[in-house]
Structure 1
């Protein structure tokens, strides 16, 4: 029974990682460094809370998350694709601006410096177990399907072939009639939508937006992309591994066997160890970060 509960909690925790990592795979496959995942998730979380609160429906919350993600993605695309700005600098700037922006609008809209009022979430009212109730949430199933579907799209559709070509050899793709910049923009919109849904899951699952609630999940999702070598199935396994580490952290905190500060380090230590062992041997898309 304990093993089953551990598995259910791991899956529940893995959902935002899976969605953000799927967005990261798409973004980097079209040649744009996905350093802004944290900002995209946080904007999606705020958009979901805002839409759900004023629309009194989690479905409107999802629309709000997608709109917020699209706005941030458009800024990212204009800066990197139109003005050829350094993608690392833009990604860092996006994260900083979204952190400050959500804090500002949290105060402006909800008159709070820390969190929004309670907002409607998805179902589960008749289910006593909170973890089982989470699986009523349709975003959970979208998260579970995101990377397998993305893998199928990348390797079994003409669109996926163009995406991989643009991420590896954009000049060759252009010579065959592929419009590189528009395709990259489409890929970024897909990436932004997936990452913002990851943030929406957090807000709707917790029934509120909390300042900085993504808490570095976007960076861990990016680490999963690199650890999984940009292959959707491997990335999914990496996300589950990191989620299992976070689940272990939560359970150890409850047991109080070791100081909580050391326990909180577990997911981040695992991320560093995983990347230290794989980065030197992984091969990123050849055109990653190159939009000239």
Structure 2
């Protein structure tokens, strides 16, 4: 399949998704599904997930599993909050990047130099990040300190001296709010597209724009430069890369440090949104970012789709808990689409295997159950609403796992001259 055709299919997929969501909104009457507020919230929630996923992408394309993204994000949030209240948002940006990069450097030293198991090192960093930040908070924000008098505490930093700048994109957001006027009409598809565009273009944090630009930049560097080719070769077959003169150790170090910097940048974004560091504000986004990267098949475009999906689910449950029930109907329709696609790919009933029949039968039962729940349940219990993004993460990974292809040497211990 040519690259041009892939882009065309991606655009068709986006259009089909918008049409499907608009149809669900029309059937259920849940206007929050395509409101500008929901998509603005989704964008804000997707960015830290996407940045953490980019961090995982850089490391794993070089053959280093990085489940320590959560701990690196925590380091980024604390140092961004500490520098931000003293010197402003730009200092917060630099401090968070450096803190995340240091976390990545520690992971690289453990895994690349000393050959520590990648999972064990990542777990250690996830424990180290919160521990170090809590210790620093108790030392620097203790009662009687200048920072404490400025409104800090053991679990929070003082507010930043100034807020991060926000921008509205030209043409779509200049002058009269014509997108808002179209959205208020709630016309089928037209009002939905207007709400989506308005949510994605009005009062956008400058770090959101930076994060979005990182996706095509990552794709260009990793797939269209000689450095990117060497990095990906280190993740596919480091010994073959070594035989061609690639310094695999250096490549892996660079990749993992960049990985930590991206995770730290995700932490900076969380501080920009809340204007200060708050203990526990990452809330597992590093792990969800890793899931989004796996869902995206270790590619920036798929990663963006995964982050957007998880951010949308999280944003919708924050904006309207009642609208979450519309996900039941959406899930039923998606299962029916999956059933149709799988049946079409089969070359007649005789070509179906036991696995095919099992998957198709499960899809039929699942669609029937979801449709029945949508008809009978008016409002989901709060406990189910709050775990919606995490359940969605598991379901998406379950479906996507059938087509995934990770780098061949991902997580493999590399030693120069010792090919396995």
In the TM superposition, residue 253 of structure 1 has moved relative to its aligned partner by 3.6
SS in 2 for 1:32: coil
CA contact (8 A) 2:50 2:292 kept: no
The partner residue of 2:81 within 49, 69, 76 is: 49
Whether 2:64 is the aligned partner of 1:32: answer: yes
Aligned 8 A contact 1:38 1:218 in 2: yes
The yes-or-no answer on 1:71 pairing with 2:102 is yes
Please state if 1:174 is matched with 2:242: yes
Q: Distance in 2 between matches of 1:269 and 1:19?
A: 21
Supply the RMSD in Å over aligned alpha carbons: 2.2
The offset of 1:284, in angstroms, is 0.8
Aligned to 1:196: 264
Runs (4+) of structure 1 moved beyond 6 Å?
129-133
- Tell me which residue corresponds to 1:117: 158
Shift of 1:134: 5.2
1:277-288 to structure 2, matched below 5 A, reads: 277-288=399-410
Aligned residue-pair number: 288
- 1:161 shift after superposition: 0.7
Alignment of 1:14-163 (within 5 A): 14-55=46-87, 57-111=88-142, 112-119=153-160, 120-124=162-166, 135=204, 137-163=205-231
Check 1:226–1:131 CA distance in 2 against 1; reply closer, same or farther (3 A cut): closer
CA distance in 1, matches of 2:409, 2:220: 22
Greater relative contact order: 1 or 2 (C-alpha under 8 angstroms, separation 6 or more)? 1
**Residue number among 43, 49, 64 corresponding to 1:11 in the alignment:** 43
Residue 134 to residue 64, structure 1, CA distance change in 2 (3 Å): farther
Alpha-carbon displacement from aligned partner over 1:138-165 (angstroms, at most 9, x marks no partner): 2111111122211121111111111111
Which sits farther off after the overlay, 250-259 or 8-17?
A: 250-259
Give the drift of 1:272: 0.6
Query: Aligned to 1:210, what secondary structure does the other structure show?
Result: coil
Q: Contact (CA 8 Å) 1:134, 1:205: kept in 2 or not? A: no
Cα distance, 1:58–1:130 mapped onto 2, change above 3 Å: farther
Larger Rg: 2
TM superposition shift of 1:281: 3.3
Corresponding residue of 1:208:
276
Equivalent pair of 2:105/2:260 in contact (CA under 8 Å): no
TM-score of the pair, normalised by structure 1? 0.92
User: Residue 252 of structure 1: which of 320, 337, 342 is its match?
Assistant: 320
Structure-2-length-normalised TM-score: 0.65
Unaligned runs of 5+ in 1: none
CA distance in 1 between counterparts of 2:225 and 2:201 reads: 35
Deviation of 1:280 after TM superposition, in Å, equals: 4.3
Q: 1:131 to 1:46 in 2, by over 3 A?
A: farther
59 and 143 in structure 1: CA distance in 2 versus 1, 3 angstrom threshold: same
User: Please, which runs of 5 or more residues in structure 2 have no aligned partner?
Assistant: 1-30, 143-152, 168-197, 325-378, 415-420
Q: Which moved more, 1:13-22 or 1:107-116?
A: 107-116
